[in-house]
Amino acid sequence: MPEGPEVRREADRIARVLTGEPAAEVWFAFEHLQAWSHCLRGEVIQGVESRGKAMLVRFANGVNIYSHNQLYGRWFVKPRGELPVTNRQLRLAVHTEKHSALLYSASEIEVLSDEELDGHPFLKRLGPDVLSAQVRADDIEALLADSRFRRRSLGALLLDQGFVSGLGNYLRSEILFVARLDPAQRPVDLGERARSELATAISDITHRAYRLGGVTNDPDDARRLRGEGVPRREYRHYVFARSGKRCRLCGEAIVKAVSAGRRIYTCPCCQSTGPSGSS
Ligand SMILES: [Zn+2]
């Protein structure tokens, strides 16, 4: 499933063609939504936002199209009148005079007023979006000390969208590696410094993935490796999906395990000592 940085980049790509334009036509595949087409025609699109892994197309009349792609949904942006070559089923089309944003295969599409957004069952349980300009590492550090979260294992907590939203499986492995923490540790086990470093890693690595299109490895190292002709899957991450390969920092073999039901990758040397190892 795409994680917060991928959804945000997709929202940016759609926003570039839709924002500020009036909707020439909005088409819904689902019958129960079709009555909205009339209400949205001619309305100016105010913006396209991601909230965790969900997306909102926001209209000037206070109406929003909410979508969550889960594993299957896929957006395409095309010049108006062109369709992508795909066997997928079109579920939503937002046309401006010159462009079309087309959502295929997604089944979670809803139309919500601004007032309904806060009460939406998915949106209302989301923790702060790590990529939001309003969320800083200090805010994340405060949540790590919060009684709701401080006794959860880090492996489970970092996947919980109610803690902070936008993290997913590759970010979890990468954040814990950078913070040099074991997934079984809990916030309550950490000293103040380790907790602060974890909050910084959550923020920095997620923003790096957004900026660099999913790359979480050290940017200089990634650039050097790419320059040497190393394929993207080999230079993209520190540890994720690198089972058996050498740790980029210490040379130890990366280990794959399961944490909270999902695969996780760690360096047994860099992450074995917990907070005392984070010098
Ligand atoms: Zn290592």
Global pTM value: 0.92
The values of phi and psi at residue 163, to 5°, are -80, -75
Give the model's pLDDT for residue 276: 43
Per-domain residue ranges of the chain = 4-125, 137-277
Distance separating alpha carbons of residues 136 and 19, to the nearest angstrom: 26
The values of phi and psi at residue 237, to 5°, are -120, 165
CA-based nearest residue to 194, from 206, 208, 179, 183: 179
The answer to whether residues 185 and 271 touch, using CB atoms and an 8 Å cutoff, is: no
Beta-carbon contacts of residue 163 (< 8 Å; ≥ 6 apart) = 127, 143, 149, 152, 157
Q: Locate tokens 């309550």: which residue?
A: 188
Give the single-character DSSP code of 214: T
What tokens appear for 251 in the block?
């040379």
CATH of 4-125, one of 3.20.190.10, 3.30.70.890, 3.20.20.70, 1.10.150.20: 3.20.190.10
Mean pLDDT of 11-32: 98
53 belongs to the catalytic site: yes
Q: What percent of the chain has pLDDT over 90?
A: 94
Render pLDDT for 225-267 as a digit per residue (tens, 0 to 9): 999 999 999 999 999 999 999 999 999 999 999 999 999 999 9
Q: How far is CA 265 from CA 28, 167, 168, 205, in A?
A: 41, 15, 13, 16
Give the model's pLDDT for residue 277: 39
268 belongs to the catalytic site: no
- Gap from CA of 177 to ligand 1 centroid (Å): 8
Render pLDDT for 84-111 as a digit per residue (tens, 0 to 9): 999 999 999 999 999 999 999 999 999 9
Give the model's pLDDT for residue 66: 97
- Gap from CA of 229 to ligand 1 centroid (Å): 24
**Whole-number mean pLDDT of the chain?**
95
98 belongs to the catalytic site: no
CATH no. of 137-277 = 1.10.8.50
Checking if the pLDDT of 79 tops 50, the result is yes
Q: Identify the active-site residue in 41, 125, 148, 262.
A: 262
Q: What percent of the chain has pLDDT over 70?
A: 97
2 belongs to the catalytic site: yes
